[in-house]
Amino acid sequence: MRIKLSEPTYGEDEIAEVMESLRSTRVTMGAKCLAFEQAFAAYSGARHAIFVNSGSSANLLAWFAIANVLFQPPPGKRAWRPGAEVIVPAVTWSTTLWPIVQAGGVPVLVDCCPKTLQMRPEAVEAAIGPDTVALCPVHALGNACYMPALTELCDRHGLIMMEDTCEALGTRHGGTLAGRFGLMGTYSFFFSHHITTIEGGMVVTDDDALADLLRCLRAHGWTRDLADKARWGTGSGGLAERFTFVNTGFNLRPSEINGAFGLHQLRKLEGFNAERRRATLALIEGLAPLIAAGDISVMEVTPGADPAFFGFPLLCRDPAARDALAAHLDAAGIEIRPIICGNMARQPAMAHVRHRIAGSLDGADRIMACGLYFGMHPGYGEDDIAFVVDAVRRYFQS
């Protein structure tokens, strides 16, 4: 493939830092992970950042924290119970949904707008029922959800907001960083994402007790790493503090290798996102005649949003045109993929998963049937852009 979905964004800085960790033999979660968490908290403006081994793990941790017996819902918010409903967009990644299901909840799928690719606030409002406890906005493809409307709905109905920001590190809406509107926000640092720790993810929150609960669940349910150990009832019965378990838990810890990457990558984030923006605008400019002719449409920026572009999604007029364009691009050496997972309601796994579909999913179906995306990364050069634009234009001229 001449144009891949992603290219490596790490270099000598990350390699040297990893080598230092390996040579020091301090390779399990330690000082570098902690320093990365502190840097990420400072960047995001959150009181706490909890580093884990993937974005999926960040979502797992967030939903299991909300479902945990020791979780205290913020004042005025609905409490979790088995069968609690969480509203999610139909167009999202699988592990937006699975952790909700694994925590005993029921995902409620709502439609997405084919122009912005984001969940529709009016569909969210119509989906809220007596069992709805939370809303999970997903900022798809680096664009932002309609945050004022979603925030107002959460406030009015007492819903907990947990933002899946795994595709939108650096995106803002109305000046606020995506992932910072609700109780928690999650991020992914997978290889192709805005920054990478190879695999990795983060949960951010301002809630001190929740941050300790997240740290406890991240590592075995023990008390190590907790700021307020006494709160959770430590040390009874002569147990060594390091081997006292106060909750159920997982092992979702990252390693120092991941922390080493994160420290350097975070410093490069703004530069990477500026490059993604440059390449996106150049592609839009190159494809403008096709957009004007209605042959393709590209993602519209949500009003008020400042995106951190992730992938270059486009929609064709109809499914046949999409299939033909996809085959043409593949043959030209341009790697393409569906828009996230398409409409999650159409995935075979949903046959075994308790869920609810709220209203029509026509927009999500259209995104699935007519959409595709090719890669977007900071290394996209002028030659790459010209190559992609030429390939797409040649298809429509033929």
Ligand X SMILES: Cc1ncc(COP(=O)(O)O)c(C=O)c1O
Q: Which stretch binds ligand X (CB under 6 A): 13-21, 115-123, 161-169, 312-320?
A: 161-169
265 binds ligand X (CB under 6 A): no
Whichever of 24 and 94 has its CB closer to ligand X, that residue is 94
Min dist. Cβ of residue 155 to ligand X (A): 24
* Cα-Cα end-to-end distance for the chain: 22
x-marked contacts with ligand X along 127-156 as a string, rule CB under 6 A: -----------x------------------
Looking at the DSSP assignment, which residues form a beta bridge with residue 322? Answer: none
Min dist. Cβ of residue 96 to ligand X (A): 5
Half-sphere exposure of 228 (CA within 13 A, CB side): 10
Q: What is the C-alpha to C-alpha distance for residues 57 and 36, in angstroms, rounded to an integer?
A: 17
Which one among 21, 116, 188, 280 touches ligand X, defined by CB under 6 A? 188
292's CB contacts (< 8 A; 6+ apart) are none
Does the annotation mark 193 as catalytic? Answer: yes
Looking at the DSSP assignment, which residues form a beta bridge with residue 98? Answer: none
Whichever of 99 and 363 has its CB closer to ligand X, that residue is 99
92 binds ligand X (CB under 6 A): yes
Please give the helix or strand (H or E) that residue 87 lies within, else none.
strand 85-89
Whichever of 59 and 68 has its CB closer to ligand X, that residue is 59
Whichever of 92 and 116 has its CB closer to ligand X, that residue is 92
Give strand ranges (E) for 90-224.
106-110, 132-135, 160-164, 172-173, 176-177, 184-188, 201-205
Q: What is the C-alpha to C-alpha distance for residues 5 and 335, in angstroms, rounded to an integer?
A: 6
Min dist. Cβ of residue 120 to ligand X (A): 17
Min dist. Cβ of residue 235 to ligand X (A): 35
226 binds ligand X (CB under 6 A): no
Whichever of 167 and 295 has its CB closer to ligand X, that residue is 167
Per the CB < 8 A criterion, the answer to whether 294 and 397 are in contact is no
Amino acid at 106: V
Min dist. Cβ of residue 45 to ligand X (A): 22
201 binds ligand X (CB under 6 A): yes
Looking at the DSSP assignment, which residues form a beta bridge with residue 373? Answer: 313, 337
Query: How many binding residues for ligand X (CB under 6 A)?
Result: 15
Whichever of 21 and 54 has its CB closer to ligand X, that residue is 54
Tokens encoding 174: 């109305």
Tokens encoding 295: 């042959």
Whichever of 63 and 80 has its CB closer to ligand X, that residue is 63
Share of the chain residues as helix, strand and coil, in percent rounded to the nearest 5: 45, 20, 40
Show contacts with ligand X in window 93-132 (CB under 6 A).
93, 95-96
Amino acid at 56: S
Tokens encoding 119: 């969940």
Show contacts with ligand X in window 29-88 (CB under 6 A).
54-56, 59
Min dist. Cβ of residue 167 to ligand X (A): 5
163 binds ligand X (CB under 6 A): no
Min dist. Cβ of residue 50 to ligand X (A): 14
Alpha helices for 237-318 (secondary structure H): 256-293
* 145 burial via Cβ count (<10 Å: 0-12, 13-18, 19+): buried
Q: Which of 193, 194, 264, 355 is catalytic?
A: 193
Kindly list the catalytic residues.
Answer: 193
Residue ranges in contact with ligand X by CB under 6 A: 54-56, 59, 92-93, 95-96, 138, 164, 166-167, 188, 190, 201
